[in-house]
Amino acid sequence: GDSVTQMEGPVTLSEEAFLTINCTYTATGYPSLFWYVQYPGEGLQLLLKATKADDKGSNKGFEATYRKETTSFHLEKGSVQVSDSAVYFCALTFSGGYNKLIFGAGTRLAVHP
């Protein structure tokens, strides 16, 4: 079945370090891909998305590129801040369906000053 695999956390970084959170997917078709972020005590918020191969989603300094050949959607940021500390979820969904999101397990990021 369709699934999303994320790197296990926690990821611990110092402020201004480079961030990569790996995400790979298994899907029978061509899904849309998303990154959601969950701050402590809050619900999930859409961070960025890409709907077709080679698309790059970007927001708040975060980027991710839809790589069909490697079935990946890795999240990157050049310089993290303490305020980026949160749990990050990679997810996929298919057009033509009812927008059912399939989530990865989430990766916790902790950024220290």
Per-residue interface string for the shown chain with other proteins, residues 40-79, x marking contact by CB under 8 A: -xxxxxx--x-x----------------------------
At residue 34, φ and ψ (nearest 5 deg) are: -135, 155
Tell me the C-alpha distance between 82 and 111, whole Å.
5
Contact call for residue 107 and other proteins (CB under 8 A): no
- Which tokens go with 95? 């057009």
Per CB under 8 A, the list member of 28, 69, 70, 96 interacting with other proteins is: 96
Report which of 56, 62, 18 is spatially closest to residue 37, judged by C-alpha positions.
62
> What residue ranges bind other proteins (CB under 8 A)?
32, 34, 36, 41-46, 49, 51, 89, 93, 95-101, 103, 105-106
